[in-house]
Amino acid sequence: MSDELPPHPDDDEIAEVLASGDDSDAAPVTKKSAWYRVPRRRRRWPWFAMWVALLIVGVGGGLAVASIQLLDNTLTEASPNTPDVLQAEKAVDAQLPGAPINILLLGSDKRAGQRGSGDPGRADSIILIRMDNDQGFISMLSFPRDLYVNIPGHGMNKINASFALGGPAKAIETIKALTGQPINYFVNIDFNGFVKLVDQVGGVYLDVDRKYFNKNTPGAAGSYSEIDLKPGYQRMNGKDALSYVRYRHTDSDFARIARQQAFLSELKRQTNRFGNLPEIPSYAGIFARNITTNIKSVPVLLGIMEQAITTDKDRIARAALTGNLAMRGGASVVEAPASEVSLKVDQWLHPSFTQGTGAAVVSPNDVAVDVLNGNGALLSAEDAAQQLRDKGWNATSGGNAEAFGKSGTIVQYADGQRDAAQAISKLFGPKTNIGALPKSEQSKDVDLRVVLGESYDGSLATAVKPSKAKAARPQANVVWTTSLVPLLARVQKATGLKVMVPLRVPSGSSLRIVRSYRVNTGGQGPQALKMVFRVPSGTYWGYQILDWADPPLLDGRTGVVNSGGREYSTFYDGKNLMRLAWQKDGMTYWISNTLDYQLSPETMYAIAKSARPLGRANLPKGQTSTSISMEQDAYTP
């Protein structure tokens, strides 16, 4: 929720300079970068349901007894003995002592157990969470809601229909059948609870990457949730927040997942500012009335929460099925081949940070290997099987795979054979992936299944000594431009903002929206400017100027870099740089990456380092200005 600045006599002039440019010069000065870690902050925990439970428990030792009693009462209400919950309890697997815990997180528009005679609701968000206390990590596997899967007892359909067809029990059965993995607990979140929690904490600040708009036309075929959100850093109420995280009219499931993760991270962080102990019962009531789970034991929930808040963010892994778009029965669906499912399940089970220096010693003759032809080359499987036998493997040809045309070779392993899969994968080259063999396809006669891809050229890979050559330093993909100088000069005159102009932008960028506004409601908040740029791939990066020295966003920084006399705050998601911010004279500036991380860190640093006050906004000597496209869109697609 944000208010535009009142009209200014010069506002019309801002649009008039969208196509103009300037070619003046002045070289920015940069120095060698230095990096240091920001002191540890509270761990990010991007799960709405579990996080609310943490609030209920409280953080003070003096509240322990009362909080546990409140939590016990809350769990009792959140675990009603309704038919849906009782069926789900039969579908889950018992938690084995010392084994990892698997939790299915469902976000739906109906609370399980309260489905009426009308629309029973669908699962809009589906995430399988694994908590491995022994190895100290948490991993999350997300499923596109349009993923085309077999729903036990109902045939092929979109995965989100499983909830409508049989509540959480059917969703659990579907995910278990798809992944071959046990599920110990489920948590179903009603989106109404999401809205109420956001409103309870007074709204949440978020940097919206672009314009989101949809208004349904009466009588038109098909409709989506209506939304009208402007770009830029702003405080959202519950209704707008829900519209933002659920939006999918012109977006991919990947982009929607990225928005959800970003929002939930901000929600957790910012409620540390807004929340207070007297409000804990209110949070508990929201939790109880809008969440359904089969977690009935307070000690079990406390154990889950303890691992969640003590797991380092660097030990949290994320994976997502992507698949390919297809049409089935006149509807758009996402199809993921079994090979991708097994690969992503393997990444979920064994995140990269858990891998050691190499596979354990394996006796090839003791491993039964079935080789399938997935590339269509004549006698490919027979040739590869013979080559493996020549190296001591117990390999046989199983004929053709279910389809040809696979690019990379895939090695699938049965339970307990992952080390063997790692060992044999090295014989098929760097384009080989490994994944778990679905339990329904495992047998005592096969330990490994090798599905040959086009990367197999008729011979096994030979060992290659690592190159000692120094890797080339990644280069920024940017161009110099003064196209933004006249525009931002008008903005500074109209708003009084202390503008810094970026003189470098990613190649192919086009400016689509320039928004001058105040951050909070009532027109009394800090002044701000948001510029939205589109990259050739179709996603958007942003440049934000904010007359606010301490916005909540800065609490989430992951590191600090000193370069060229300026201190930059970094915001990483794993290896991806999401945002790069700096401050000067009480102002805050930042570059936001696209939702799909199209901008490399080098490119983002190049943009940020080129930003100069208007009086110094000149190109270095020898550089020429590249004119960039500037179109004031009413809406972005």
DSSP per residue over 362-392, as a string?
--GGGSEEEEEE-S--TTHHHHHHHHHHHTT
Q: 520 — phi, psi (to 5°)?
A: -100, 175
pLDDT of residue 254: 64
pLDDT of residue 42: 34
CB atoms inside a 10 Å sphere around CB 453 = 23
CA separation for the pair 527, 525 (Å, rounded): 6
Span of 89-103, 215-229, 235-249 with lowest mean pLDDT: 215-229
Q: Are strands 629-630 and 185-190 parallel, antiparallel or unpaired?
A: unpaired
DSSP state of 443: B
CA separation for the pair 394, 446 (Å, rounded): 10
Closest CA to 450 of 416, 423, 486: 423
More reliable by pLDDT, 559 or 473: 559
* Cα dihedral 493, 496, 497, 502 in deg (nearest 10): 20
CA separation for the pair 469, 314 (Å, rounded): 29
Taking only the tens place, the pLDDT of each residue in 567-586 is 999 988 767 899 999 999 99
Two structure tokens written together for 412:
């699938």
E strands present in 443-489: 448-452, 478-480
Taking only the tens place, the pLDDT of each residue in 172-181 is 999 999 998 9
**Domain at 353-452: CATH architecture:** 2-Layer Sandwich (3.30)
Partners of 101 in beta bridges: 131
Span of 102-111, 269-278, 516-525 with lowest mean pLDDT: 269-278
CA separation for the pair 377, 457 (Å, rounded): 9
pLDDT of residue 514: 92
pLDDT of residue 153: 94
pLDDT of residue 5: 35
CA separation for the pair 109, 261 (Å, rounded): 18
Q: Which residues of 518-530 are buried (b: 16+ CB within 10 A; e: fewer)?
A: bbbeeeebbbbbb
pLDDT of residue 271: 56
Q: 413 — phi, psi (to 5°)?
A: -120, 145
CA separation for the pair 479, 491 (Å, rounded): 23
pLDDT of residue 217: 65
Average pLDDT taken over every residue of the chain: 78
3-state SS record for 212-224: EEECCCCCCCCCC
Sign of the CA dihedral running 452, 454, 455, 456: positive
CA separation for the pair 157, 150 (Å, rounded): 6
Q: Are 298 and 72 in contact (CB under 8 A)?
A: yes
Q: Are 420 and 436 in contact (CB under 8 A)?
A: no
| pLDDT of residue 614 exceeding 70 | yes
pLDDT of residue 34: 35
Which residue matches tokens 């669906």?
Answer: 333
Closest CA to 481 of 10, 16, 19, 29: 19
pLDDT of residue 98: 82
Query: Terminal CA-to-CA distance of the chain, rounded, Å?
Result: 20
Is 390 exposed, middle or buried, given 0-12, 13-18 or 19+ CB atoms closer than 10 A? Answer: exposed
At 143, which amino acid appears? F
Sign of the CA dihedral running 31, 35, 39, 44: positive
Closest CA to 112 of 323, 368, 274, 292: 292
Closest CA to 540 of 626, 499, 599, 608: 599
CA separation for the pair 469, 490 (Å, rounded): 50
Q: How does residue 56 score in pLDDT terms, banded at 50, 70 and 90? A: very low
Reduce the DSSP state of residue 585 to 3 states and report it: coil
CA separation for the pair 59, 70 (Å, rounded): 14
Largest CA distance in the chain: 82
Q: Are 575 and 317 in contact (CB under 8 A)?
A: no
**Mean pLDDT computed over 344-373:** 80
Q: How does residue 68 score in pLDDT terms, banded at 50, 70 and 90? A: low
**DSSP for 379-432, written as a single string:** THHHHHHHHHHHTT-EEEEEEE-S-S--SS-EEEE-TT-HHHHHHHHGGG-TT-
CA separation for the pair 544, 529 (Å, rounded): 6
Report which secondary-structure segment, H or E, holds 206: strand 204-208
Q: 2 — phi, psi (to 5°)?
A: -145, 150
H-assigned helices in 453-596: 484-495
Reduce the DSSP state of residue 153 to 3 states and report it: coil
Q: Are 194 and 241 in contact (CB under 8 A)?
A: yes
pLDDT of residue 522: 60
Closest CA to 47 of 145, 125, 161: 125
Q: How does residue 47 score in pLDDT terms, banded at 50, 70 and 90? A: very low
More reliable by pLDDT, 289 or 482: 482
Q: Which residues are within 8 A (CB) of 341 and not within 5 positions of it... i.e. 6 or more apart? A: 178, 179, 321, 435, 438
Reduce the DSSP state of residue 604 to 3 states and report it: helix
H-assigned helices in 138-209: 161-179, 191-200
Q: How does residue 169 score in pLDDT terms, banded at 50, 70 and 90? A: very high
CB atoms inside a 10 Å sphere around CB 314 = 11
Sign of the CA dihedral running 449, 455, 457, 459: negative
Report which secondary-structure segment, H or E, holds 276: none
Sign of the CA dihedral running 305, 311, 314, 315: negative
Whole-angstrom Cα Rg for the chain: 27
Highest mean pLDDT: which of 5-19, 60-74, 437-451, 530-544?
530-544
Report which secondary-structure segment, H or E, holds 517: strand 510-518
Two structure tokens written together for 193:
């609870």
Show me where the domains of the chain are located. Answer: 3-40+474-630, 353-452
| pLDDT of residue 406 exceeding 60 | yes
